[in-house]
């Protein structure tokens, strides 16, 4: 009997010790973005693989619902998440929370508040909400106070990990700037910070704090590239006492956590956005289809770039040089030219390919359509047509019509037929659109108020500018709802409160919808001497996430490649 008592005591002690060890050694998984354009099949594969590894719990970095304001948008992802046989802690993303109402929906669907904290074993986890702001300074003061107090209370925890959706840390760290939240993290012994939002992986350790940018677990990406951390992924984390060991996993493949630094991520961004530029010009107005293409490549590496530029085109464009050998020394810029001749439709555009090697034997494969200026004109009339949602045969006959659109890859868009009509008089610009619908039952028009988010609906969007610096942005949906703003790029001012004095009428038919827009020219910076405006426009269809572009890029910069000439 005495022996039994001794063994029982030993057993109790061993069980107690084992429990302490188990609580200080555990696994959890981090799930990246699903939305911003969801690939549900890829998301399900990631979730299934994570579940197979049997984590103790899962933490998300946000963006599960495509539009968190719509209750049904939560159904598919939350059904998928039921596969986990462990707790899931949710972080709010900008697609999950837009306003107070969707914040309540987030809590109802996930069971979590937008910001909160919890403990697991020896570790304190803090979940922050930066879903509706663009930097730390815009975060709600009450949340910052709560966060500071929470850190003060838990300062002595062995581990402290912070989660938030948007990676506000990234630009400051990459550019060596001061970051007040980083100072807060240092003061209160934060060990690691986990974020998402950019659909690309990156990792840095600064002042002993590990910063993670978790890539996509199902949200669309700019183009898969293992070397740049652009692939469907999740993060597997093991906590051992005061250490965290992470593995970046792609469908059964593991990568080193320093696969891509934030500096490399930003270099890859600059390569496709800044360091490689193309533009066109017409040398002879009598030959408008013959264009000079200027190509500029800046070498921001410490090695010479010795590669070939390749230009690929279909039969609608003749290219004088399809392969151009180049050699660019570090810090130098190559400038070269070639001639292309249009002998058919504008789309598909010629594609430029270039392999840009940079640090640690990485390569960025640049592949984009040439930036070709597209010129159209507006027909002058004595009087703008009545804005009544109807386009008469007479108006169709008089107007200049654009009916050829491309996708972001420079290919001919496969969106249903779209037509845009242009007329003007001395005071007004008239734009009319006809958007045909192959599946009319899928037409989405949820918003009806001024400056509501009509760009999430079926919509037509326009970028208009007199000088390329001040840009007026306008969206119209089938409900006649307008969203507009004025942007001054030179002054770096974005005026969302600006409302143009636009007259709009729309009509929905069985297999199409029509919009007529009357725009006072002086409202968008034009005067009697202005003969040409910079322009881009697009049609968006949400049910299959397709867009048709006048210029195959949707950015303020894109207006410089579109010209609308006002006929005298």
Q: Are residues 403 and 429 in the same domain?
A: yes
Q: Are residues 354 and 382 in the same domain?
A: no
- Residue 18: inside a domain: no
- Residue 529: inside a domain: yes
Q: Are residues 78 and 110 in the same domain?
A: yes
pLDDT of residue 358: 85
- Residue 12: inside a domain: no
Cα–Cα dist 160/122, whole Å: 9
Q: Are residues 447 and 511 in the same domain?
A: yes
CATH number for the domain spanning 280: value is 2.60.40.1230
Q: Are residues 419 and 530 in the same domain?
A: yes
Q: Are residues 97 and 228 in the same domain?
A: yes
Q: Are residues 60 and 146 in the same domain?
A: yes
Q: Are residues 523 and 411 in the same domain?
A: yes
- Residue where one domain finishes, among candidates 231, 260, 289: 260
> Which of 67-71, 176-180, 253-257 is modeled with the greatest confidence?
67-71
Cα torsion 351, 355, 359, 360: sign: positive
Model confidence pLDDT, tens digit, residues 331-347? 999 999 999 999 999 99
- Residue 15: inside a domain: no
Q: Are residues 445 and 561 in the same domain?
A: yes
CATH number for the domain spanning 403: value is 2.60.40.1190
Q: Confidence band (pLDDT; 50, 70, 90) for 175?
A: confident
- Residue 405 is part of which domain span? 374-566
- Residue 21: inside a domain: no
What strands lie across the sheet with 202-206, from one edge to the other? 116-120, 123-127, 159-163, 192-195, 209-213, 202-206
Q: Confidence band (pLDDT; 50, 70, 90) for 79?
A: very high
pLDDT of residue 171: 80
The average pLDDT across 159-172 equals 94
pLDDT of residue 359: 79
Q: Are residues 121 and 155 in the same domain?
A: yes
The 3 state secondary structure assigned to 208-234 is CEEEEECCCCCECCCCCEHHHCECCCE
Average pLDDT of the chain is 92
> Inter-axis angle of helices 180-187 and 141-153, to 10 degrees?
20
- Residue where one domain finishes, among candidates 212, 243, 260: 260
Q: Are residues 107 and 201 in the same domain?
A: yes
For 21-66, list the strands marked E by DSSP. 25-31, 57-60
Interior angle at CA 55, CA 54 and CA 58, nearest 5 = 130
- Residue 147: inside a domain: yes
Q: Are residues 256 and 313 in the same domain?
A: no
Model confidence pLDDT, tens digit, residues 415-468? 989 999 999 999 999 999 999 998 888 899 999 999 999 999 999 999 999 989
Cα–Cα dist 203/271, whole Å: 20
- Residue 234: inside a domain: yes
Q: Confidence band (pLDDT; 50, 70, 90) for 69?
A: very high
* pLDDT value at 9 more than 60: no
CATH number for the domain spanning 85: value is 3.60.21.10
pLDDT of residue 565: 94
- Residue 247: inside a domain: yes
pTM of the model: 0.75
pLDDT of residue 2: 40
- Residue where one domain finishes, among candidates 260, 281, 309: 260
Cα–Cα dist 222/214, whole Å: 15
Model confidence pLDDT, tens digit, residues 522-548? 999 987 777 899 999 999 999 888 999
pLDDT of residue 297: 97
Into how many domains does the chain fold? Answer: 3
């Amino acid at each position: 009997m005495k022996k039994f008592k001794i063994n029982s005591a030993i057993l109790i002690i061993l069980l107690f010790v084992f429990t302490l060890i188990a609580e200080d050694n555990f696994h959890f998984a981090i799930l990246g973005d699903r939305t911003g354009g969801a690939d549900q099949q890829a998301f399900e594969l990631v979730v299934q693989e994570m579940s197979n590894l049997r984590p103790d719990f899962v933490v998300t970095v946000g963006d599960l619902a495509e539009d968190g304001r719509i209750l049904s948008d939560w159904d598919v992802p939350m059904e998928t998440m039921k596969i986990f046989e462990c707790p899931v802690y949710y972080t709010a993303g900008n697609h999950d929370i837009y306003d107070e109402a969707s914040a309540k929906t987030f809590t109802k669907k996930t069971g979590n508040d937008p910001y909160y904290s919890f403990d697991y074993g020896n570790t304190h986890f803090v979940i922050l909400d930066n879903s509706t702001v663009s930097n730390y300074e815009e975060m709600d003061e009450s949340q910052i106070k709560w966060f500071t107090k929470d850190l003060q209370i838990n300062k002595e925890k062995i581990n402290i990990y912070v989660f938030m959706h948007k990676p506000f840390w990234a630009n400051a760290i990459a550019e060596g700037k001061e970051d007040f939240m980083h100072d807060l993290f240092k003061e209160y012994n934060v060990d690691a910070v986990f974020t998402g939002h950019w659909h690309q992986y990156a990792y840095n350790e600064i002042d002993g704090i590990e910063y993670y940018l978790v890539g996509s677990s199902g949200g669309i990406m700019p183009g898969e590239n293992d070397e740049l951390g652009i692939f469907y992924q999740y993060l597997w984390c093991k906590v051992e006492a005061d250490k965290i060991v992470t593995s970046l996993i792609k469908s059964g493949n593991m990568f080193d956590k320093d696969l891509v630094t934030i500096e490399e991520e930003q270099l890859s961004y600059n390569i496709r956005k800044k360091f490689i530029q193309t533009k066109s010009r017409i040398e002879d107005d009598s030959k408008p289809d013959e264009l000079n293409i200027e190509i500029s490549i800046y070498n921001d590496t410490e090695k010479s770039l010795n590669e070939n530029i390749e230009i690929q085109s279909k039969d609608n464009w003749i290219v004088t040089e399809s392969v151009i050998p180049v050699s660019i020394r570090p810090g130098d810029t190559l400038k070269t030219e070639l001639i292309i001749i249009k002998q058919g439709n504008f789309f598909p555009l010629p594609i430029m390919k270039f392999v840009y090697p940079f640090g640690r034997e990485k390569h960025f494969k640049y592949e984009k359509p040439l930036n070709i200026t597209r010129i159209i004109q507006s027909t002058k009339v004595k009087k703008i047509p009545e804005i009544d949602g109807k386009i008469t045969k007479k108006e169709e006959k008089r107007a200049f019509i654009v009916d050829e659109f491309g996708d972001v890859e420079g290919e001919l868009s496969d969106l249903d037929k779209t037509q845009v009509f242009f007329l003007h008089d001395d005071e007004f610009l008239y734009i009319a659109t006809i958007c045909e619908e192959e599946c009319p039952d899928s037409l989405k028009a949820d918003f009806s108020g001024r400056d509501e988010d009509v760009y999430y609906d079926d919509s037509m969007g326009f970028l208009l500018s007199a000088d390329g610096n001040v840009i007026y942005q306008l969206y119209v949906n089938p409900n006649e709802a307008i969203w507009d703003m004025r942007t001054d790029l030179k002054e770096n001012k974005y005026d969302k409160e600006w409302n143009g004095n636009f007259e709009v009428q729309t009509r929905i038919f069985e297999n199409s919808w029509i919009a007529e827009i009357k725009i006072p020219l002086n409202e968008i910076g034009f005067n009697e001497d202005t003969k040409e405006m910079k322009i881009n426009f697009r049609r968006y269809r949400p049910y299959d996430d397709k867009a048709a572009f006048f210029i195959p890029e949707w950015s303020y910069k894109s207006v410089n490649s579109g010209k609308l000439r006002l006929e005298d």
